[in-house]
Structure formats: C-alpha cells, structure tokens
Amino acid sequence: QSYLVALGFTLVGAGVFSATRLRKPIVPQESLIGVVYAVSAAAAILVLSRAPEGGEELKALLVGHLLFVGSPETLKVLILYSAVGVVHWIARKPLLAISQDPEGSFARGLRVRWWDFLFYATFGVVVTSSVEMAGVLLVFSFLIVPAVCGVLLAKTIGRRLLVGWMVGLITSMAGISASYVWDLPTGATVVCAFGVCLIVCAILRALRLTV
C-alpha cells in the first residue's frame, strides 16, 4: 500500500512538473524540483518524528537496506530498469531535443510537456521503486553523480553514458568494499564514495584528462 501511495504521488508530481513547464522560465525547472524534494523530505521527517520507531524508519528512508536485498527484489528492479531503459531508448530523440534545446523544441511544435511527463513519470517510478532498498541519499547519488562525471570527462552522449556506467560500477564496488573493511553503514559509505569520485573527476577535468 505504501508503494502504491508513493507511486500515485509520483505520477501526480510528474503531471504538475510537466504542466507548469514554461517556454522561457524565470526559474529553471530543476530548481523547483529541488525545492519540492527538500520540502517533501522535511515533511517526511516531521511525520516520522511523531511515529513509533520513527528514528529507524528515518534511517531506512535515508540509507535503505542494501545488505538485505534478496533475489526477488533484485529481479523486480532488473525488469523495471530494463523496461524504462527500452522506453528511453525509443524516445531518445525527443527527450534529448527538449533537454538540449527546450525553446527550439517549443518553436518546432514538439509536444514538450507530454515528453516531460513521460520522463518525469519514468524517472519517478525508478526512484520510488529504489528508495526502499537503497535509500533516498544513495538513489539520488546514483542518478546525479555518474551523469555529472560523464559531463566532466566526456564530450559526446555515448562517451558520457559509458563514463557514467563505469563510475557507477567502480564507485559502488569501492564503497561496498570500504564499508565491509571498516565496518561502516553500506549506503552512507557508497554515498561518500560518490562524493570522492566527483572530486576526482573534477580534478581530471582540470588537468584536461577527458575522452
């Protein structure tokens, strides 16, 4: 029930964000999404502060339970991520167009808000389905840091994807290994590993070691 409720709010949020997309926004859409995320997270903390065992629930919300993920959960997210990947591959041209040139996409008559809704909805489904396992912090680290590293180190879309996949894989393995060796919480350790990785990529960018 909690998953279905979260998924329902996700789709409502996707509809709101896509419907309020402007051709020439005063404030970038990403900034508004960040504000909504911060306020929603704060509201969740307020609710959990009044709930029995709210502290444990809050910890699970932030860092998840990676070490206790079983085969059924792994199979479920594998199928889900594969389906979302196929959808994004089929819709890659309009999604890239509205991402790189939103004003031009409006001018060419592209149905920007509908494609926005598709992206936000699939994005939200992935996040909603992953937070219970990995936690909010790790999910957003996976979504943001590899992509930023790809932009820092590569010039083309294909190379950025490759760099992002490599960063996600190597950093995850390094973070999990560090959490095992030093007996640290796995989710939080992997998030910190992503932070270190981002610094390393920024240094490589400054040294012009890009692909």
Q: In this structure, what DSSP letter does residue 211 have?
A: -
pLDDT digits (tens, 9 = 90+) for 95-118: 888 888 877 888 888 888 899 899
* pLDDT for 154: 92
Structure tokens at 198: 């981002």
| Distance, C-alpha 93 to centroid of its chain | 21
Q: In the prediction, which pLDDT does 178 show?
A: 93
CA distance 191 to 13: 26
Q: What is the pLDDT of residue 137?
A: 85
11-47 pLDDT tens trace = 888 888 888 877 777 777 777 877 887 888 788 788 8
Q: What is the pLDDT of residues 62-88, one digit of tens each?
A: 777 777 888 888 898 899 999 999 999
**pTM, 2 dp:** 0.80
Q: Please tell me the predicted confidence (pLDDT) of residue 136.
A: 83
At which residue do the structure tokens 């199979």 appear?
Answer: 75
CB-count exposure of residue 84 (10 Å: 0-12, 13-18, 19+): middle
Q: What is the mean pLDDT of residues 177-183?
A: 92
Rounded Cα gap, residues 136 and 57, in angstroms? 12
pLDDT digits (tens, 9 = 90+) for 137-178: 888 899 889 999 999 999 888 899 999 999 999 999 999 999
pLDDT band, residue 91 (cuts 50/70/90) = very high
Average pLDDT value over all residues in the chain: 86
